[in-house]
Structure 1
Amino acid sequence: MANILVVDDELGIRDLLFEILNDEGHNVELAENAAEARAARQRARPDLVLLDIWMPDTDGVTLLKEWSTAGLLSMPVIMMSGHATIDTAVDATRIGAFAFLEKPITLQKLLKAVEQGLARENARRAAASVVPTTANNLATVVTTMGENALVPAAPQGPAIETGPQAMQSFDLDRPLRDARDGFEKAYFEFHLAMENGSMTRVAEKTGLERTHLYRKLKQLGVDLSRGRRGTV
């Protein structure tokens, strides 16, 4: 699950994108112009932005350049337009846009671009979470990449039981989204182990559709081969 900001001046497109992305399990915030997009970017710090190019007050390319200049382009931005030229798309990419989608946008292209953008963002955060360690302040935690690593321990960080002989500890000094991803990863790994890797039973246990569950596990970097004993 990711926080996605949709910026488009057309109500019908905003509503359609909201329904699609919400059905995929994402938290979606809507903005109809650059002013609302600036406020949403500051307030919600989205994991990904879908940004229309042609808007009445400030166009999407100008807003993209504004964020880039101010050092606020810390998330993938997918540009959208039904009238943009190739030069406009190239300019947006040079400024820092992750991808460009031409309207009308097909469902397949939309979901593929969003999935790729979030995958890049998760990889960037995982790389940023690797920090130097010290001999006197170490704790073993499960990182978003699925391997044990040594990172500074949070003061009095609570341990969460995930199995009879397994224990995960979480660094509470990390940003909320990173800490949440770590917990969700441990949560799904626990249920996979308890259900011997059966995706059907894990989907039933967690209340997720299989398609959404597969996408979620892939996003979190869960190793699906662990705990599997020939069941599906």
Structure 2
Amino acid sequence: MANILVVDDEMGIRELLSEILGDEGHVVQLAENAQQARAARLAEKPDLVLLDIWMPDTDGVTLLKEWQRDGLLSMPVIMMSGHATIDTAVEATRIGALNFLEKPIALQKLLKAVQQGLTRTPEPARPAVPAMRVLTPEPVSSVNSIGAVSTQFDNRGYPAVAAAPVQPAAASPASQFASLSFDLPLREARDAFERIYFEYHLHRESGSMTRVAEKTGLERTHLYRKLKQLGVESVKYSKRGE
């Protein structure tokens, strides 16, 4: 998990990038101009910055020069723009930008650039965790099977298997569909159906947007926008942090 600063004057782009990066497990800060970006850089010291070139107060290249001049360019910076020329991209790279993404940004290019940027910054060392022997139970066919196993020891010093809490199976949509009213206008009925449909798959895939996109046949960017339109909060179905 990394701390990523997104700087862009377009609210829609800030929100979309925040949802995508948040779903990948990152902590995302948002800034709509250079002034907010300066404050965020000093306050939180982000691991990576996504920086728009064209902004109303100070453009991204000028801000990049400021950070480089003041010794604050200690994190990878990825420039973004839908109107920049090749000369602008080359100049940003010369100053110290790691990469350049052209808008509209393809999802796979975004995730690849972010991953490459984060690998340039070593993570702080973590204390080693002693290896523990884990006993694996025999496979079972029941849907409500044991989800995980931890190793404990009894009073004789022998390892004993303790089952983790059983995770409930994804709720069947049949009972929810039964509650749909055929008296609704077509548009409202369709939205209600789609809401149940996506909530079911989010629950079933533990909030993984990648797997839900594969199951439903939607490109991830389209999926994010669809869930936002329907008012479905994908974060609450995720098991991160539990």
Bin for the TM-score computed over the shorter chain = 0.5 to 0.7
Counterpart Cα distance in 2 of 1:211 and 1:16: 14
Q: Are 1:113 and 2:113 counterparts?
A: yes
Counterpart Cα distance in 2 of 1:190 and 1:15: 41
Q: CA deviation at 1:194?
A: 4.0
- Asked if structure 2 preserves the Cα contact closer than 8 Å seen for 1:195 and 1:201, the reply is no
1:121 is paired with a residue whose SS is: coil
Q: Select the structure of larger CA radius of gyration.
A: 2
- Structure 1 unaligned segments of length 5 or more: list them: 126-177, 213-232
- After superposition, the Cα gap between the structure-2 partners of 1:11 and 1:35, relative to the gap in structure 1 and judged at 3 Å, is same
Q: Are 1:100 and 2:93 counterparts?
A: no
Counterpart Cα distance in 2 of 1:12 and 1:36: 17
Aligned AA for 2:13?
I
1:77 matched residue in structure 2:
77
2:120 is paired with a residue whose SS is: helix
Q: CA deviation at 1:15?
A: 0.1
Aligned AA for 1:101?
L
Counterpart Cα distance in 1 of 2:30 and 2:107: 18
Q: Are 1:17 and 2:56 counterparts?
A: no
- Asked if structure 2 preserves the Cα contact closer than 8 Å seen for 1:50 and 1:79, the reply is yes
Q: Are 1:26 and 2:48 counterparts?
A: no
Identity %: 70
- After superposition, the Cα gap between the structure-2 partners of 1:190 and 1:114, relative to the gap in structure 1 and judged at 3 Å, is farther
- Asked if structure 2 preserves the Cα contact closer than 8 Å seen for 1:5 and 1:46, the reply is yes
1:27-46 equivalences under 5 Å are 27-46=27-46
- Asked if structure 1 preserves the Cα contact closer than 8 Å seen for 2:8 and 2:55, the reply is yes
Runs of 4+ in 1 over 6 A off after TM superposition: 207-212
- After superposition, the Cα gap between the structure-2 partners of 1:211 and 1:56, relative to the gap in structure 1 and judged at 3 Å, is closer
TM-score normalized by the length of structure 1: 0.57
- Asked if structure 1 preserves the Cα contact closer than 8 Å seen for 2:23 and 2:209, the reply is no
Counterpart Cα distance in 1 of 2:134 and 2:207: 18
